[in-house]
Structure 1
Amino acid sequence: MLGIGIPLYICASASTPIAAALVLKGLSPGAALVFLLAGPATNAATLTVLGRQLGRAATLRYLLSIAVCSLLFGWLVNRLYAAAGINIIDWLAPTETASSSPLAIASALLLLALIGWNLRPKRGCKKDS
């Protein structure tokens, strides 16, 4: 994941669902953490700016520290999950057991009402021409 995360141009908010999907497909949580830490911090644009501002040696030290720290924390997360006996796949509920709670239905109806309220025509407001 370090080899994929470093050159990939991805922001932190886009890498989170990708990492979650990879974990659900069988990737270890530690490897997902490596991707989450290394991807946004070491994209090509960041490295280019750092290289211009700080020089090649500092950029190389930055890249090396990101790689070492992300690998170390990824390894620690895997050890923590193994020691605790946690398996993320066990947390998922089969789709056959999914059901809507009254709170979920009420929240959805409230959200739809608020969206409708926001989209209603406004009185007394002049439209820009």
Structure 2
Amino acid sequence: MHHGLSYAFGDLLGDIGKWLLLGIVVAGLISYLVPDDFFLRYMGNEALSLLIMLGVGIPIYICASASTPVAAALVLKGLSPGAALVFLLAGPATNAATLTVVARYFGKQATMVYLASIALASLALGWLTNRLYGWLGLDITQWVNEVSDATDSMYMQGAALLLLALILTSPLRQKLDD
């Protein structure tokens, strides 16, 4: 059990912590700088929004830890949940490191098949997600508004500060363990 906790609060947190913080910073910038109706106004066409998020997600180097808060901020600014899912699936699966490894071990043709498979699967799942949200009548922004009071609590603020402290001290703990 001690080794599991050591790994969780040491190596794992050290590996994903900086990316999570980067994602939170980018999400904060999106929340502050992007108007609330931006995506509804400029990306109201569902197919176009799915394709744009695929085009944004594929070339950027982003991991799942960083892309999750970014996708959440985009949805809260009016992006469809399906388009956000396309970004969440395509970005981490097609980053430069992954594509380099696939190309090295399987060749360029397999890399193109891999890339096309990720693109098609992401688009299909994004489209299905939008259908599911529509069919169930779900509105993600309503959920956030309902729980926004909870984020102002001392408990939530304390938990955020604790997570920040754990992330910032994880490199120090890793050096002590070595």
Q: Which TM-score band (shorter chain)?
A: 0.7 to 0.9
What 5-or-longer segments of structure 1 have no aligned partner?
116-129
1:23-49 C-alpha deviation (Å, 9 max, x unpaired): 001100000000111100001121122
Residue 108 of structure 1 and its aligned partner are, at CA, apart by 4.0
Question: Residue 82 in 1 paired to residue 137 in 2?
Answer: no
Q: Over residues 77-123 of structure 1, what are the superposed CA-to-partner deviations in whole Å (9 max), with x where a residue is unaligned?
A: 0000001111111112279956537xx38x949x98xx9xxxxxxxx
Corresponding letter in the other structure for 1:34: V
- The runs of 4+ residues in structure 1 deviating greater than 3 Å are 94-101
Number of the residue aligned with 1:2 = 54
The TM-score normalised by the length of structure 1 is: 0.74
Give 1 or 2: higher helix fraction: 2
The TM-score with structure 2 as length reference comes to 0.54
Q: Provide structure 2 residue ranges, at least 5 long, that are not aligned to the other structure.
A: 1-52, 166-178
Identity of aligned residues (%): 65
| Greater radius of gyration (CA) | 1
Q: Which residue of 1 is the match for residue 91 of structure 2?
A: 39
> Paired residue for 2:113?
61
Q: Distance in 2 between matches of 1:7 and 1:49?
A: 16
Partner of 2:78: 26
Give the distance between the partners of 2:64 and 2:115, measured in 1 at CA: 17
Moved more, 90-99 or 8-17: 90-99
User: Residues 45-78 of structure 1, C-alpha deviation per residue, up to 9 Å, x if partnerless?
Assistant: 2112211211111000000000000110000000
What secondary structure, in the 3-state scheme, does the structure 1 residue paired with 2:123 have?
helix
Q: How many residues align?
A: 109
